[in-house]
């Protein structure tokens, strides 16, 4: 396993190309921004390079990784150096709180979720994954060790909603075929992308399997793409406009 920093993945070592391959997808962005309701002030926790951050509201971003903070585009304000588990803000300081594809990386998820609830007087909006749905994706055939590692990282959805309290909804988020946010399931119809080193480096999941497993996975996938095996099994996905993935939108109102 690779070294860690503020969370369970070391973005100082593995996040050099994050902003290139992990860009907010417009369809998913619309769902996140809609869930924020009419909140005019938002705290974005685990903000990374700024994906999914609304630009029509006052946003305070919190991100512990200097490498990711340095990749924020010029039109976004600098991020605060901080962690989810100890937010430096007063109670009810914001109209809403958000965390997109980051809570599984926190050292203390319970504390982080309670901090989000504490500083938001309105909704808490999360993008996360359902560990029980990960095996729907064909990559599980090629890298079962990766899927097993990912499953251990994702807290159960009912546990998340219990920590947040209030009125909570959990909605499945379909992934579009041209998804611009390069998490693993975004490439359900673009398997060749997993052969690209920088793409995998932008997916923290690969930091939880050995280099040997990664090499063997890539080699097998390359062979199956070249000889037609992948297309025989999964070629129908190439024309499927969306994939019912493990991505979930969690919205908790007080």
Domain for residue 128, yes or no?
yes
Number of separate domains in the chain: 1
Strands (E), the chain: 41-45, 58-62, 96-100, 124-129, 167-172, 175-176, 242-243, 247-253
Q: Are 205 and 142 in contact (CB under 8 A)?
A: no
Indicate which CATH number applies to the domain containing 30: 3.40.50.150
pTM above 0.85, yes or no: yes
Dihedral sign from CA coordinates of 3, 9, 12, 16: positive
pLDDT tens digits, one per residue of 61-108: 999 989 889 889 889 999 999 999 999 999 999 999 999 999 988 999
pLDDT tens digits, one per residue of 90-100: 999 999 999 99
Domain for residue 196, yes or no?
yes
Dihedral sign from CA coordinates of 99, 197, 131, 153: negative
Domain for residue 4, yes or no?
no
Interatomic CA distance for residues 126 and 101, integer angstroms: 8
Domain for residue 225, yes or no?
yes
**Number of neighbouring beta carbons within 10 Å of residue 168:** 19
Domain for residue 150, yes or no?
yes
Range of the structural domain that residue 55 is part of: 11-253
Domain for residue 130, yes or no?
yes
């Amino acid at each position: 396993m690779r070294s860690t920093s503020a969370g369970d993945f070391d973005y100082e070592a593995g996040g050099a190309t994050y902003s290139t391959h992990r860009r907010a997808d417009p369809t998913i962005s619309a769902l996140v921004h809609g869930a924020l309701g009419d909140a005019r002030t938002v705290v974005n926790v685990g903000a990374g390079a700024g994906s999914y951050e609304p630009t029509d509201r006052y946003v305070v971003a919190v991100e512990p990784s200097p490498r990711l903070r340095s990749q924020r585009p010029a039109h976004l304000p600098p991020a605060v150096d901080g962690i989810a588990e100890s937010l430096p803000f007063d109670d009810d300081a914001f109209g809403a709180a958000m965390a997109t594809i980051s809570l599984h990386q926190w050292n203390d998820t319970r504390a982080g979720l309670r901090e989000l609830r504490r500083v938001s007087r309105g909704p808490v909006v999360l993008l996360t994954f359902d560990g029980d749905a990960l095996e729907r994706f064909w990559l599980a055939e090629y890298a079962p060790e990766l899927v097993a590692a990912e499953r251990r990282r994702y807290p159960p959805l009912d546990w998340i909603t219990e920590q947040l309290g209030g009125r909570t909804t959990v909605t499945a988020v379909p992934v579009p075929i041209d998804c611009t946010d390069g998490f693993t399931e975004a490439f359900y119809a673009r398997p060749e992308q997993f052969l690209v080193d920088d793409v995998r480096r932008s997916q923290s999941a690969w930091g939880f399997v050995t280099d040997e497993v990664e090499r063997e996975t890539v080699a097998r996938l390359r062979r199956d793409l070249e000889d037609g095996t992948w297309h025989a099994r999964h070629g129908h996905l190439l024309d499927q406009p969306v994939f019912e993935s493990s991505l979930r939108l969690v919205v908790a109102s007080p």
